[in-house]
Amino acid sequence: MTTTELPDTAIQQDAPESQVPGVTRGETLDGHVPDGPPSTAWARRKLAYKLVNPANRAKFKVIVVGTGLAGAGAAAALGELGYDVHSFTYHDAPRRAHSVAAQGGINAARARKVDNDSIERFVTDTVKGGDFRGREADAFRLGEESVRVIDHLNAIGAPFAREYGGALATRSFGGVQVSRTYYTRGQTGQQLQVASAQALLRQVDAGTVTLRTRHEMLDLIVDDGRAQGVIMRNLLTGEITAHTADAVVLATGGYGNVFYFSTLAKNSNASAAWRATQRGAHFASPSFIQFHPTALPVSSRWQSKTILMSESLRNDGRIWVPLAPGDERAANDIPEAERDYYLERRYPTFGNLTPRDVASRNASEQITAGRGVGPLKNSVYLDFRDAIARLGKAKIAERYGNLFEMYTHATGEDPYTVPMRIAPGAHFTMGGLWSDYDQMTSIPGLFVGGEAGWGYHGANRLGANSLLSACVDGWFTLPYSIPSYLAPLLGKPRLPDDAPPVLEALERAQTRTEALLAADGEHGPTYFHRLLGDILYAGCGVHRTSSTLTTAISEIRALRGRFWAELRVAGTGDHLNQELEKAGRVADYLELAELMCVDALDREESCGAHFRGEHQVDGEAARDDDLWAFVSAWEVPGDGTFVRHHEPLTFDAVPLQKRNYK
| Mean of pLDDT values over 600-610 | 98
Which residues does 473 contact at the CB level (< 8 Å), separation at least 6?
70, 73, 74, 251, 439, 449, 450, 453, 455
CATH code (residue 603): 1.20.58.100
Q: Which residue, 409, 427, 445, sits at the end of a domain? A: 427
| Mean of pLDDT values over 133-139 | 98
| Mean of pLDDT values over 145-153 | 97
| Mean of pLDDT values over 44-69 | 98
pLDDT confidence tier of residue 3, bands split at 50, 70 and 90: very low
CATH code (residue 398): 3.90.700.10
516 and 416, same structural domain? no
504 and 397, same structural domain? no
Query: How many Å apart are CA 228 and CA 504, to the nearest integer?
Result: 13
Identify residue 143 by its one-letter amino acid code. Answer: G
Identify residue 201 by its one-letter amino acid code. Answer: L
pLDDT confidence tier of residue 13, bands split at 50, 70 and 90: low
Longest dimension (CA), the chain: 76
pLDDT of amino acid 77: 98
642 and 545, same structural domain? yes
pLDDT-above-70 percentage for the chain: 98
Which residues does 345 contact at the CB level (< 8 Å), separation at least 6?
none
pLDDT, tens digit (0-9, with 9 covering 90-100), for 91-106:
999 999 999 999 889 9
Q: Which residue, 382, 404, 427, sits at the end of a domain? A: 427
414 and 534, same structural domain? no
Domain presence at residue 226: no
Return mean pLDDT, the chain. 95
pLDDT at 645 over 90: yes
| Mean of pLDDT values over 454-472 | 96
Least confident piece of the model among 181-190, 253-262, 264-273, 299-308: 299-308
Domain presence at residue 393: yes
507 and 423, same structural domain? no
Domain presence at residue 336: yes
| Mean of pLDDT values over 639-645 | 97
User: Is 356 among the residues known to form the active site?
Assistant: yes
pLDDT at 272 over 90: yes
Domain presence at residue 510: yes
505 and 636, same structural domain? yes
pLDDT of amino acid 547: 98
Domain presence at residue 441: no
pLDDT of amino acid 112: 81
Q: Which of 356, 371, 399, 623 is catalytic?
A: 356
418 and 312, same structural domain? yes
633 and 504, same structural domain? yes
| Mean of pLDDT values over 360-366 | 97
504 and 406, same structural domain? no
Residues in the chain: 662
Contact at 8 Å (CB) between 298 and 259?
A: no
Domain presence at residue 453: no
Query: How many Å apart are CA 637 and CA 111, to the nearest integer?
Result: 47
Domain of residue 395, residue span:
292-427
How many structural domains comprise the chain?
2
pLDDT of amino acid 1: 30
Domain presence at residue 61: no
418 and 298, same structural domain? yes
Q: What are phi and psi of 455, to 5 degrees?
A: -70, 165
Domain presence at residue 639: yes
629 and 514, same structural domain? yes
Query: How many Å apart are CA 94 and CA 80, to the nearest integer?
Result: 17
Helices (H), 540-609: 546-566, 578-602
Q: Which residue, 427, 447, 477, sits at the end of a domain? A: 427
pLDDT of amino acid 113: 86
pLDDT at 7 over 60: no
642 and 513, same structural domain? yes
pLDDT at 6 over 50: no
Least confident piece of the model among 304-313, 420-429, 466-475, 608-617: 304-313
Query: How many Å apart are CA 367 and CA 420, to the nearest integer?
Result: 15
Least confident piece of the model among 33-42, 109-118, 152-161: 109-118
pLDDT confidence tier of residue 304, bands split at 50, 70 and 90: confident
Q: H or E stretch including 65?
A: strand 61-65
